[in-house]
Amino acid sequence: MSANKTSIAGQSIRIGNVYFPKLPVILAPMEDITDPPFRKICREMGADWVYTEFISADGLIRDADKSLQKLDIYPEERPVSIQIFGSDAAAMEDAARLAQEKHPDFIDINFGCPVRKVASKGAGSGIMNDTPRMVQITERVVRAVDIPVTVKTRLGYDKNTKNIVDIAERLQDCGIAAIAIHGRTRCQLYRGNADWTLIGEVKSNPRMHIPVIGNGDIKDGAAALRAFDEYNVDGIMIGRAATGNPWIFKEVRHFLESGEKLPSPGIMEITEVCRRHVRMSAGWKGERTAVFEMRKHYCNYFRAIPNFKPYRIRLVTASSVSELEEILDEIEKTFC
């Protein structure tokens, strides 16, 4: 046993038929990032649970291609949640039923997205100043499906209405199986630091009995340990720090178990994972979209490599998978 071994015990959690390891570390849903290829890679790296990107309830009902494609799940990804958003209870109910047909482990309701095109229509975190409607939508989604329903949300609408302690209780009463809380308000968007104190208050509320998952600004093992240790959450969720850095799940797990920092991956490992990611993405969503969306990942994939800028510029301007593969070959030769 390492002299640095951490002492937090943590409880194993179970949601429906899924048993999670102690101190579960979860990949946050992220639009245009957490597609099936990336979720698969994150699971291989140790993410204990993954979510789809958010999917519009209206889009699903209208049979919109983009929404339907987002329902795809690889068998290796499980446990996986399909996340849906919308402002209308009937549409959310129908969308939940459609999503259930894809056999995810859970359906997640997005009450957290602050993006204007979503929130201004009363969906995502735009609903956070209307608790009765949150309750109505949640009740109807829970009733519509046979699998566990979870919610991902924020602290409240703005700094004067941080009512997550009350909201969490009300949603628990609707029958949700777990709640994930991002420690910012809707109006904060992604500004400032995530405030974990209210997440801790939700967890310590004696009326709460469902798992509480904390989210916001976890970038390394030390931050993950603090989240479990100080706020006693049942799981932590990592978003931006996983973009182009699926190794974060290994690093965090290693730190939680040993208190020690894992060495960063070498260049060959990085290019290999990046290459697989590009290929799988092209296979799943087509070359053009894959090449475009992969641009969000390069900065992080190669963040530790000095003097990388000329290669990054080439990666983000490449227009085909074969061009990307050539650049990755060159990167290996240059930096190995």
> What are phi and psi for residue 107, nearest 5 degrees?
-105, 130
- Give CA–CA dist 316/324, Å, rounded: 9
Q: Of 67, 110, 172, 188, which one interacts with ligand FMN (CB under 6 A)?
A: 110
Q: Of 6, 13, 23, 29, which one interacts with ligand FMN (CB under 6 A)?
A: 29
Q: Is the backbone of residue 109 left (phi > 0), alpha (psi -120 to 50) or beta?
A: beta
Per rule CB under 6 A, is residue 231 in the interface with ligand FMN? Answer: no
Query: Please, what is the minimum distance in Å from the beta carbon of residue 112 to ligand FMN?
Result: 5
Residue 29 or 331 having the CB closest to ligand FMN: 29
Q: Of 20, 54, 157, 298, which one interacts with ligand FMN (CB under 6 A)?
A: 54
- Give CA–CA dist 211/316, Å, rounded: 40
- HEC string of 50-69 equals EEEEEEEHHHHHCCCHHHHH
Per rule CB under 6 A, is residue 53 in the interface with ligand FMN? Answer: yes
Query: Please, what is the minimum distance in Å from the beta carbon of residue 98 to ligand FMN?
Result: 18
> What are phi and psi for residue 27, nearest 5 degrees?
-80, 125
Query: Please, what is the minimum distance in Å from the beta carbon of residue 215 to ligand FMN?
Result: 5
DSSP single-letter state for residue 249 = H
Is 113 an annotated catalytic residue? yes
Per rule CB under 6 A, is residue 211 in the interface with ligand FMN? Answer: no
Could you say which of 113, 174, 299, 336 is catalytic? Answer: 113
Query: Please, what is the minimum distance in Å from the beta carbon of residue 29 to ligand FMN?
Result: 4
Query: Please, what is the minimum distance in Å from the beta carbon of residue 54 to ligand FMN?
Result: 3
Q: Which residues pair with 26 in a beta bridge?
A: 49, 237
- Cα-to-chain-centroid distance, residue 46: 14
Per rule CB under 6 A, is residue 24 in the interface with ligand FMN? Answer: no
- Asked if 229 contacts 9 with a C-beta cutoff of 8 angstroms, the reply is no
Give me 216's structure tokens. Answer: 């916001």
**DSSP helix/strand/coil, 179:** strand
Per rule CB under 6 A, is residue 270 in the interface with ligand FMN? Answer: no
Residue 59 or 271 having the CB closest to ligand FMN: 59
Q: At what angle do helices 267-285 and 36-44 cross, to 10 degrees?
A: 150
Per rule CB under 6 A, is residue 249 in the interface with ligand FMN? Answer: no
- Asked if 258 contacts 6 with a C-beta cutoff of 8 angstroms, the reply is yes
Contact stretch for ligand FMN (CB under 6 A) within 15-23, 200-208, 221-229, 238-246? 238-246
**Residues with active-site annotation:** 113
Binding site for ligand FMN (CB under 6 A): 28-31, 33, 53-54, 83, 110, 112-113, 152, 182, 215-218, 238-241
